[in-house]
Amino acid sequence: MTEKRKRRVVVTGLGCVSPLGLDVASLWQGFMEGRSGIDYITRFDTAEFATKFAGEVKGFDPLNWLSNREVRQMDRFIHLAIAASDEAKKDAGLSTITDEFAPRVASIMGVGVGGLESIEITHDKMREVGSPKRISPYFIPMMISNLAPGQVSMRHNLKGPSYTVTSACASATHAIGDAFRLIADGTVDMAFSGGAEATVTELGIGGFNAIKALSTRNDAPQKASRPFDQDRDGFVMGEGAAVVILEELHHALSRGAKIYAEMTGYGATADANHITQPAPGGEGAIRCMTLCIQDAGLQPRDVDYVNAHGTSTPVNDPLESIAMKAVFGEYAKKVAVSSTKSMTGHLLGAAGAVEAVALAKAIENQCAPPTINLENPAPECDMDYVPHKARSMKIDHAMSNSLGFGGTNATIMFSRYTE
Protein backbone atom coordinates (compact mmCIF):
# COMPACT_ATOMS: atom_id res chain seq x y z
CA MET A 1 0.00 0.00 0.00
CA THR A 2 1.33 3.43 -0.87
CA GLU A 3 2.44 5.64 2.02
CA LYS A 4 -0.05 8.40 1.12
CA ARG A 5 -3.04 6.09 1.73
CA LYS A 6 -4.05 6.23 5.37
CA ARG A 7 -7.34 4.32 5.22
CA ARG A 8 -7.62 0.65 4.30
CA VAL A 9 -10.51 -0.58 2.17
CA VAL A 10 -12.08 -4.03 2.42
CA VAL A 11 -14.72 -6.00 0.53
CA THR A 12 -17.64 -6.92 2.78
CA GLY A 13 -20.51 -7.79 0.41
CA LEU A 14 -21.03 -9.40 -2.99
CA GLY A 15 -24.03 -9.58 -5.31
CA CYS A 16 -24.31 -10.90 -8.85
CA VAL A 17 -26.84 -11.75 -11.54
CA SER A 18 -25.13 -13.44 -14.48
CA PRO A 19 -25.53 -15.97 -17.29
CA LEU A 20 -24.49 -18.60 -14.73
CA GLY A 21 -27.32 -17.81 -12.33
CA LEU A 22 -29.17 -15.29 -10.21
CA ASP A 23 -26.74 -15.02 -7.31
CA VAL A 24 -23.08 -15.21 -6.34
CA ALA A 25 -23.33 -18.85 -5.27
CA SER A 26 -24.53 -19.84 -8.76
CA LEU A 27 -21.75 -17.83 -10.41
CA TRP A 28 -19.06 -19.45 -8.27
CA GLN A 29 -20.51 -22.94 -8.69
CA GLY A 30 -20.48 -22.43 -12.46
CA PHE A 31 -16.85 -21.38 -12.31
CA MET A 32 -15.91 -24.40 -10.19
CA GLU A 33 -17.71 -26.72 -12.59
CA GLY A 34 -16.17 -25.05 -15.63
CA ARG A 35 -19.67 -24.59 -16.99
CA SER A 36 -20.65 -22.27 -19.84
CA GLY A 37 -23.61 -19.92 -19.45
CA ILE A 38 -23.77 -19.32 -23.21
CA ASP A 39 -26.76 -20.51 -25.24
CA TYR A 40 -29.05 -19.51 -28.11
CA ILE A 41 -30.70 -16.11 -27.79
CA THR A 42 -34.32 -16.17 -26.66
CA ARG A 43 -35.03 -12.44 -26.31
CA PHE A 44 -35.53 -11.80 -30.05
CA ASP A 45 -35.65 -13.61 -33.39
CA THR A 46 -32.07 -14.12 -34.62
CA ALA A 47 -32.93 -15.45 -38.09
CA GLU A 48 -31.26 -12.51 -39.86
CA PHE A 49 -28.30 -12.19 -37.48
CA ALA A 50 -24.81 -13.55 -38.02
CA THR A 51 -24.59 -14.43 -34.31
CA LYS A 52 -27.47 -16.35 -32.75
CA PHE A 53 -26.23 -16.89 -29.19
CA ALA A 54 -25.22 -14.94 -26.10
CA GLY A 55 -24.89 -15.11 -22.34
CA GLU A 56 -28.45 -14.28 -21.33
CA VAL A 57 -29.52 -14.07 -17.70
CA LYS A 58 -31.96 -16.98 -17.58
CA GLY A 59 -35.01 -17.19 -15.35
CA PHE A 60 -34.76 -13.61 -14.18
CA ASP A 61 -38.12 -12.14 -13.16
CA PRO A 62 -37.77 -8.52 -12.03
CA LEU A 63 -41.07 -8.85 -10.16
CA ASN A 64 -39.16 -10.87 -7.55
CA TRP A 65 -37.43 -7.60 -6.64
CA LEU A 66 -39.71 -4.83 -7.87
CA SER A 67 -43.37 -3.92 -8.19
CA ASN A 68 -45.17 -3.95 -11.53
CA ARG A 69 -45.04 -0.17 -11.62
CA GLU A 70 -41.32 -0.06 -10.87
CA VAL A 71 -40.58 -2.67 -13.51
CA ARG A 72 -42.34 -0.58 -16.16
CA GLN A 73 -40.32 2.49 -15.17
CA MET A 74 -36.88 0.88 -15.52
CA ASP A 75 -34.84 -0.72 -18.27
CA ARG A 76 -33.55 -4.27 -17.85
CA PHE A 77 -30.03 -3.13 -16.95
CA ILE A 78 -31.50 -1.30 -13.94
CA HIS A 79 -33.54 -4.36 -12.93
CA LEU A 80 -30.32 -6.37 -12.91
CA ALA A 81 -28.45 -3.71 -10.92
CA ILE A 82 -31.20 -3.63 -8.28
CA ALA A 83 -31.10 -7.42 -7.88
CA ALA A 84 -27.32 -7.47 -7.49
CA SER A 85 -27.37 -4.59 -5.01
CA ASP A 86 -30.00 -6.31 -2.86
CA GLU A 87 -27.88 -9.46 -2.63
CA ALA A 88 -24.71 -7.48 -1.86
CA LYS A 89 -26.45 -5.53 0.90
CA LYS A 90 -27.80 -8.70 2.50
CA ASP A 91 -24.46 -10.46 2.12
CA ALA A 92 -22.73 -7.56 3.89
CA GLY A 93 -25.06 -7.91 6.85
CA LEU A 94 -26.49 -4.44 6.37
CA SER A 95 -30.04 -3.59 7.37
CA THR A 96 -31.34 -0.03 6.99
CA ILE A 97 -28.85 2.64 6.01
CA THR A 98 -29.70 5.36 8.52
CA ASP A 99 -30.10 8.99 7.50
CA GLU A 100 -27.14 9.79 9.73
CA PHE A 101 -24.82 7.37 7.92
CA ALA A 102 -26.32 7.73 4.43
CA PRO A 103 -24.13 10.69 3.33
CA ARG A 104 -21.07 8.49 3.95
CA VAL A 105 -22.18 5.80 1.47
CA ALA A 106 -21.55 6.12 -2.28
CA SER A 107 -23.33 4.45 -5.20
CA ILE A 108 -20.99 4.18 -8.19
CA MET A 109 -21.68 1.86 -11.11
CA GLY A 110 -20.12 1.11 -14.46
CA VAL A 111 -22.48 0.99 -17.43
CA GLY A 112 -21.10 0.84 -20.94
CA VAL A 113 -24.27 1.46 -22.95
CA GLY A 114 -27.39 1.88 -20.79
CA GLY A 115 -31.01 1.26 -21.75
CA LEU A 116 -30.57 0.00 -25.29
CA GLU A 117 -33.69 -2.17 -25.17
CA SER A 118 -35.81 0.80 -24.06
CA ILE A 119 -34.43 2.89 -26.90
CA GLU A 120 -35.32 0.20 -29.44
CA ILE A 121 -38.84 -0.37 -28.09
CA THR A 122 -39.63 3.34 -27.81
CA HIS A 123 -38.34 4.11 -31.29
CA ASP A 124 -40.44 1.30 -32.77
CA LYS A 125 -43.58 2.55 -31.00
CA MET A 126 -43.04 6.10 -32.18
CA ARG A 127 -42.48 5.06 -35.80
CA GLU A 128 -45.47 2.71 -35.68
CA VAL A 129 -47.91 5.55 -35.03
CA GLY A 130 -45.86 8.33 -36.60
CA SER A 131 -46.05 10.47 -33.48
CA PRO A 132 -43.86 11.25 -30.45
CA LYS A 133 -47.00 10.99 -28.31
CA ARG A 134 -46.23 7.27 -27.83
CA ILE A 135 -43.02 8.12 -25.97
CA SER A 136 -43.32 7.21 -22.29
CA PRO A 137 -42.59 9.96 -19.74
CA TYR A 138 -40.31 7.36 -18.13
CA PHE A 139 -38.28 6.79 -21.31
CA ILE A 140 -35.37 9.08 -20.41
CA PRO A 141 -34.94 7.80 -16.83
CA MET A 142 -35.26 4.26 -18.16
CA MET A 143 -32.42 4.52 -20.63
CA ILE A 144 -29.84 6.92 -19.20
CA SER A 145 -26.92 5.09 -17.66
CA ASN A 146 -26.74 6.94 -14.34
CA LEU A 147 -30.11 5.58 -13.30
CA ALA A 148 -28.46 2.28 -12.33
CA PRO A 149 -26.58 3.86 -9.40
CA GLY A 150 -29.39 6.39 -9.04
CA GLN A 151 -32.03 3.72 -8.47
CA VAL A 152 -29.66 1.76 -6.23
CA SER A 153 -29.03 4.89 -4.13
CA MET A 154 -32.76 5.58 -3.77
CA ARG A 155 -33.57 1.97 -2.92
CA HIS A 156 -30.95 1.72 -0.17
CA ASN A 157 -30.82 5.35 1.03
CA LEU A 158 -27.27 6.03 -0.16
CA LYS A 159 -26.63 9.79 -0.06
CA GLY A 160 -22.92 9.97 -0.84
CA PRO A 161 -21.59 10.46 -4.38
CA SER A 162 -23.79 8.71 -6.94
CA TYR A 163 -22.75 8.44 -10.58
CA THR A 164 -22.03 6.17 -13.51
CA VAL A 165 -18.66 5.54 -15.07
CA THR A 166 -18.88 4.88 -18.80
CA SER A 167 -15.62 3.66 -20.29
CA ALA A 168 -16.71 0.79 -22.53
CA CYS A 169 -15.51 -2.58 -21.25
CA ALA A 170 -13.53 -0.98 -18.42
CA SER A 171 -16.57 0.81 -16.94
CA ALA A 172 -17.17 -1.34 -13.86
CA THR A 173 -13.48 -1.65 -13.02
CA HIS A 174 -13.09 2.13 -13.18
CA ALA A 175 -16.21 2.48 -11.00
CA ILE A 176 -14.78 0.15 -8.36
CA GLY A 177 -11.46 1.99 -8.55
CA ASP A 178 -13.20 5.34 -8.04
CA ALA A 179 -15.11 3.97 -5.05
CA PHE A 180 -11.89 2.61 -3.60
CA ARG A 181 -10.21 5.99 -3.77
CA LEU A 182 -13.20 7.84 -2.30
CA ILE A 183 -13.07 5.57 0.73
CA ALA A 184 -9.29 5.57 1.02
CA ASP A 185 -9.21 9.37 0.84
CA GLY A 186 -11.89 9.74 3.51
CA THR A 187 -14.69 11.15 1.36
CA VAL A 188 -17.00 8.23 2.24
CA ASP A 189 -16.86 5.16 4.47
CA MET A 190 -18.70 2.70 2.25
CA ALA A 191 -19.67 2.23 -1.39
CA PHE A 192 -22.02 0.07 -3.40
CA SER A 193 -20.03 -0.29 -6.61
CA GLY A 194 -19.96 -2.51 -9.66
CA GLY A 195 -21.67 -2.55 -13.04
CA ALA A 196 -24.75 -3.48 -15.02
CA GLU A 197 -25.41 -4.13 -18.71
CA ALA A 198 -28.27 -5.53 -20.81
CA THR A 199 -27.34 -5.28 -24.47
CA VAL A 200 -28.46 -8.68 -25.74
CA THR A 201 -30.79 -6.83 -28.10
CA GLU A 202 -31.16 -6.49 -31.84
CA LEU A 203 -29.06 -3.34 -32.00
CA GLY A 204 -26.51 -4.72 -29.54
CA ILE A 205 -25.89 -7.97 -31.37
CA GLY A 206 -26.35 -6.41 -34.80
CA GLY A 207 -23.99 -3.55 -34.03
CA PHE A 208 -21.16 -5.77 -32.85
CA ASN A 209 -21.78 -8.09 -35.81
CA ALA A 210 -21.37 -5.08 -38.08
CA ILE A 211 -17.81 -4.58 -36.85
CA LYS A 212 -17.21 -8.35 -36.92
CA ALA A 213 -16.37 -8.43 -33.22
CA LEU A 214 -18.65 -11.34 -32.22
CA SER A 215 -18.08 -15.05 -32.58
CA THR A 216 -20.32 -16.73 -35.17
CA ARG A 217 -19.81 -20.28 -33.90
CA ASN A 218 -23.55 -20.92 -34.13
CA ASP A 219 -23.23 -24.71 -34.20
CA ALA A 220 -21.61 -24.81 -30.74
CA PRO A 221 -22.49 -21.75 -28.60
CA GLN A 222 -20.98 -23.12 -25.40
CA LYS A 223 -17.65 -23.55 -27.19
CA ALA A 224 -17.70 -20.07 -28.74
CA SER A 225 -16.00 -18.08 -25.97
CA ARG A 226 -12.49 -19.49 -26.06
CA PRO A 227 -9.95 -16.95 -24.79
CA PHE A 228 -6.32 -17.50 -25.81
CA ASP A 229 -7.30 -20.37 -28.13
CA GLN A 230 -6.00 -20.52 -31.67
CA ASP A 231 -9.51 -21.08 -33.01
CA ARG A 232 -11.20 -18.11 -31.32
CA ASP A 233 -13.25 -15.99 -33.70
CA GLY A 234 -14.63 -13.17 -31.57
CA PHE A 235 -16.23 -12.43 -28.23
CA VAL A 236 -19.61 -13.60 -26.96
CA MET A 237 -22.06 -10.99 -25.67
CA GLY A 238 -23.25 -11.40 -22.10
CA GLU A 239 -25.58 -9.50 -19.80
CA GLY A 240 -25.90 -9.12 -16.06
CA ALA A 241 -24.85 -7.06 -13.07
CA ALA A 242 -22.60 -7.32 -10.05
CA VAL A 243 -22.15 -5.16 -6.97
CA VAL A 244 -19.33 -5.24 -4.45
CA ILE A 245 -19.61 -3.41 -1.17
CA LEU A 246 -16.37 -1.67 -0.29
CA GLU A 247 -15.89 -0.40 3.23
CA GLU A 248 -13.33 1.39 5.35
CA LEU A 249 -11.59 -1.23 7.48
CA HIS A 250 -12.33 0.13 10.97
CA HIS A 251 -15.97 0.69 10.09
CA ALA A 252 -16.23 -2.91 8.87
CA LEU A 253 -14.56 -4.25 12.01
CA SER A 254 -16.72 -2.12 14.30
CA ARG A 255 -19.88 -3.77 13.00
CA GLY A 256 -18.39 -7.28 12.84
CA ALA A 257 -18.60 -7.54 9.07
CA LYS A 258 -17.30 -10.52 7.15
CA ILE A 259 -14.24 -9.51 5.12
CA TYR A 260 -13.71 -11.27 1.81
CA ALA A 261 -10.55 -9.41 0.85
CA GLU A 262 -8.79 -6.08 1.04
CA MET A 263 -8.69 -3.85 -2.02
CA THR A 264 -5.10 -2.71 -2.24
CA GLY A 265 -4.47 -1.27 -5.69
CA TYR A 266 -5.91 0.45 -8.74
CA GLY A 267 -4.42 1.61 -12.02
CA ALA A 268 -5.93 3.44 -14.99
CA THR A 269 -4.38 4.50 -18.30
CA ALA A 270 -5.22 5.35 -21.92
CA ASP A 271 -3.64 3.98 -25.08
CA ALA A 272 -4.28 7.13 -27.15
CA ASN A 273 -3.98 4.91 -30.18
CA HIS A 274 -7.18 3.72 -31.94
CA ILE A 275 -10.94 3.48 -31.36
CA THR A 276 -10.90 -0.33 -31.17
CA GLN A 277 -7.29 -1.54 -31.42
CA PRO A 278 -4.99 -1.73 -28.37
CA ALA A 279 -1.71 0.12 -28.43
CA PRO A 280 1.18 -1.71 -30.11
CA GLY A 281 2.83 -4.14 -27.74
CA GLY A 282 0.10 -3.60 -25.16
CA GLU A 283 1.86 -0.45 -23.93
CA GLY A 284 -1.23 1.01 -22.24
CA ALA A 285 -2.07 -2.26 -20.49
CA ILE A 286 1.52 -2.60 -19.31
CA ARG A 287 1.44 0.82 -17.67
CA CYS A 288 -1.98 0.12 -16.18
CA MET A 289 -0.96 -3.16 -14.53
CA THR A 290 2.31 -1.64 -13.35
CA LEU A 291 0.51 1.30 -11.73
CA CYS A 292 -1.89 -1.05 -9.96
CA ILE A 293 0.91 -3.23 -8.60
CA GLN A 294 2.81 -0.16 -7.43
CA ASP A 295 -0.32 1.32 -5.88
CA ALA A 296 -0.73 -1.88 -3.85
CA GLY A 297 2.87 -1.63 -2.64
CA LEU A 298 3.70 -4.95 -4.29
CA GLN A 299 6.20 -6.42 -6.71
CA PRO A 300 5.06 -8.34 -9.80
CA ARG A 301 6.23 -11.61 -8.23
CA ASP A 302 3.75 -11.06 -5.37
CA VAL A 303 0.73 -11.48 -7.67
CA ASP A 304 -0.64 -15.01 -7.54
CA TYR A 305 -3.60 -14.81 -9.90
CA VAL A 306 -4.79 -12.56 -12.73
CA ASN A 307 -8.35 -12.50 -14.03
CA ALA A 308 -7.50 -11.41 -17.55
CA HIS A 309 -9.63 -9.26 -19.81
CA GLY A 310 -9.40 -12.31 -22.09
CA THR A 311 -12.16 -11.54 -24.57
CA SER A 312 -11.61 -14.39 -27.06
CA THR A 313 -10.87 -11.93 -29.86
CA PRO A 314 -7.99 -12.24 -32.31
CA VAL A 315 -6.52 -8.89 -31.25
CA ASN A 316 -6.96 -8.73 -27.47
CA ASP A 317 -5.70 -12.10 -26.32
CA PRO A 318 -2.16 -12.05 -27.75
CA LEU A 319 -1.61 -8.38 -26.91
CA GLU A 320 -2.82 -8.83 -23.34
CA SER A 321 -0.55 -11.85 -23.02
CA ILE A 322 2.39 -9.85 -24.34
CA ALA A 323 1.58 -7.08 -21.86
CA MET A 324 1.37 -9.49 -18.93
CA LYS A 325 4.69 -11.08 -19.89
CA ALA A 326 6.27 -7.62 -20.01
CA VAL A 327 4.92 -6.78 -16.56
CA PHE A 328 5.79 -10.07 -14.86
CA GLY A 329 9.08 -10.74 -16.63
CA GLU A 330 10.70 -14.02 -15.60
CA TYR A 331 7.77 -14.67 -13.24
CA ALA A 332 5.28 -14.67 -16.15
CA LYS A 333 5.31 -18.44 -16.51
CA LYS A 334 4.43 -18.89 -12.81
CA VAL A 335 1.49 -16.53 -12.35
CA ALA A 336 -1.92 -18.18 -12.83
CA VAL A 337 -4.11 -16.40 -15.39
CA SER A 338 -7.67 -17.15 -16.43
CA SER A 339 -10.55 -15.58 -18.31
CA THR A 340 -13.95 -16.17 -16.73
CA LYS A 341 -15.47 -14.67 -19.88
CA SER A 342 -15.02 -18.17 -21.28
CA MET A 343 -18.03 -19.08 -19.06
CA THR A 344 -20.07 -15.86 -18.81
CA GLY A 345 -19.38 -14.18 -22.12
CA HIS A 346 -18.40 -10.53 -22.16
CA LEU A 347 -20.73 -8.31 -20.11
CA LEU A 348 -19.26 -5.10 -21.58
CA GLY A 349 -19.59 -2.35 -18.95
CA ALA A 350 -20.50 -4.89 -16.24
CA ALA A 351 -17.67 -7.32 -17.00
CA GLY A 352 -15.21 -5.89 -14.49
CA ALA A 353 -17.79 -6.12 -11.70
CA VAL A 354 -18.42 -9.83 -12.25
CA GLU A 355 -14.68 -10.34 -12.41
CA ALA A 356 -14.19 -8.42 -9.15
CA VAL A 357 -16.61 -10.87 -7.53
CA ALA A 358 -14.46 -13.65 -9.00
CA LEU A 359 -11.36 -12.14 -7.37
CA ALA A 360 -13.00 -11.95 -3.95
CA LYS A 361 -14.29 -15.52 -4.16
CA ALA A 362 -10.94 -16.78 -5.45
CA ILE A 363 -9.21 -15.32 -2.39
CA GLU A 364 -11.91 -16.59 -0.03
CA ASN A 365 -11.74 -20.13 -1.43
CA GLN A 366 -8.04 -20.14 -2.39
CA CYS A 367 -9.03 -21.37 -5.82
CA ALA A 368 -8.55 -19.94 -9.30
CA PRO A 369 -11.44 -20.24 -11.80
CA PRO A 370 -10.53 -21.88 -15.09
CA THR A 371 -10.39 -20.82 -18.71
CA ILE A 372 -12.65 -23.29 -20.48
CA ASN A 373 -12.55 -24.15 -24.19
CA LEU A 374 -8.77 -23.66 -24.30
CA GLU A 375 -8.08 -26.64 -26.53
CA ASN A 376 -5.37 -25.29 -28.81
CA PRO A 377 -3.50 -22.31 -27.29
CA ALA A 378 -2.45 -19.68 -29.81
CA PRO A 379 1.33 -19.46 -30.29
CA GLU A 380 1.48 -15.95 -28.81
CA CYS A 381 -0.57 -17.08 -25.79
CA ASP A 382 1.89 -19.17 -23.83
CA MET A 383 1.14 -18.44 -20.18
CA ASP A 384 -0.56 -20.59 -17.53
CA TYR A 385 -4.24 -19.92 -18.27
CA VAL A 386 -5.63 -22.48 -15.75
CA PRO A 387 -7.16 -24.52 -18.58
CA HIS A 388 -10.41 -26.46 -18.25
CA LYS A 389 -10.60 -26.99 -14.48
CA ALA A 390 -10.53 -24.76 -11.42
CA ARG A 391 -7.30 -24.94 -9.43
CA SER A 392 -6.83 -24.93 -5.67
CA MET A 393 -3.80 -22.75 -4.94
CA LYS A 394 -2.41 -20.07 -2.66
CA ILE A 395 -3.90 -16.69 -3.59
CA ASP A 396 -2.71 -13.79 -1.46
CA HIS A 397 -2.94 -11.15 -4.19
CA ALA A 398 -5.27 -11.27 -7.20
CA MET A 399 -5.52 -8.77 -10.05
CA SER A 400 -8.17 -8.08 -12.70
CA ASN A 401 -7.72 -6.35 -16.06
CA SER A 402 -10.37 -4.51 -18.06
CA LEU A 403 -9.44 -3.04 -21.46
CA GLY A 404 -11.99 -1.12 -23.51
CA PHE A 405 -12.70 0.50 -26.86
CA GLY A 406 -11.23 3.96 -27.09
CA GLY A 407 -8.01 2.65 -25.54
CA THR A 408 -9.21 2.78 -21.94
CA ASN A 409 -7.58 0.47 -19.38
CA ALA A 410 -8.26 -0.32 -15.73
CA THR A 411 -6.72 -2.80 -13.30
CA ILE A 412 -7.64 -3.55 -9.68
CA MET A 413 -5.92 -5.59 -6.97
CA PHE A 414 -7.59 -7.55 -4.18
CA SER A 415 -5.44 -9.08 -1.43
CA ARG A 416 -6.03 -11.52 1.38
CA TYR A 417 -6.97 -9.51 4.47
CA THR A 418 -4.52 -9.57 7.34
CA GLU A 419 -4.64 -7.45 10.48
The one-letter code for the residue type at 96 is T
Cα separation, 173 vs 157, whole angstroms? 23
pLDDT at 372 over 50: yes
pLDDT above 90: percentage of residues in the chain? 96
Q: Read off the DSSP letter of residue 377.
A: B
Q: Of the residues 169, 288, 292, 381, which is catalytic?
A: 169
Q: Of the residues 309, 367, 381, 397, which is catalytic?
A: 309
Cα separation, 122 vs 114, whole angstroms? 14
pLDDT of residue 24: 98
pLDDT of residue 368: 98
pLDDT of residue 1: 46
Q: What is the pLDDT of residues 204-260, one digit of tens each?
A: 999 999 999 999 999 999 999 999 999 999 999 999 999 999 999 999 999 999 999
Active site residue 309: yes
Contact predicate 316/310, CB 8 Å: yes
**What's the 3-state SS for 196-251?**
EECCCCHHHHHHHHHCCCECCCCCCHHHCCCCCECCCCCECEECEEEEEEEEEHHH
pLDDT of residue 188: 98
Query: Please, what is the Cα angle at 272 between 241 and 358, to 5 degrees?
Result: 25
pLDDT at 3 over 60: no
Contact predicate 333/301, CB 8 Å: no
Active site residue 250: no
pLDDT of residue 197: 98
pLDDT of residue 6: 77
Q: What is the pLDDT of residues 272-287, one digit of tens each?
A: 999 988 889 999 999 9
The mean pLDDT of 282-296, rounded to a whole number, is 97
The mean pLDDT of 16-26, rounded to a whole number, is 98
What distance lies between CA 67 and its chain's CA centroid? Answer: 27
pLDDT of residue 134: 87
pLDDT of residue 5: 56
Q: Of the residues 292, 346, 367, 381, which is catalytic?
A: 346
Contact predicate 9/249, CB 8 Å: yes
pLDDT at 99 over 90: yes
Q: What is the pLDDT of residues 171-197, one digit of tens each?
A: 999 999 999 999 999 999 999 999 999
Active site residue 169: yes
Q: What is the pLDDT of residues 106-120, one digit of tens each?
A: 999 999 999 999 999
The band of 2, judged by pLDDT with boundaries at 50, 70 and 90, is very low
The mean pLDDT of 292-320, rounded to a whole number, is 97
| Mean of per-residue pLDDT scores for the chain | 97
Nearest of 91, 77, 72, 83 to residue 21 by alpha carbon:
83
